Amino acid sequence: MQQRQVYWWKQLIIYALPLVKKSGKEIMTNEFGQYNDLPELMTSLMESFKSLHFKYAVVFSGDNVNKAASLSNGKYLTPVGESLRNELGNF
Q: Which of 5, 91, 90, 3 is nearest to 44 (CA)?
A: 5
Mean pLDDT over the full length of the chain: 78
pTM of the model: 0.73
Q: Is the pLDDT of residue 58 over 80?
A: yes
Q: Which of 77, 78, 13, 2 is nearest to 44 (CA)?
A: 2
The stretch 13-36 carries a mean pLDDT of: 78
Determine the structural domain holding residue 73 and report its residue range: 2-88
67 φ/ψ angles, rounded to the nearest 5 degrees: 70, 0
Each residue's pLDDT tens digit, 30-43: 778 888 888 998 88
Q: What are the Cα distances from residue 61, in Å, to 12, 28, 70, 81?
A: 21, 17, 5, 9
Each residue's pLDDT tens digit, 43-52: 888 888 888 7
When divided into structural domains, the chain yields a total of 1
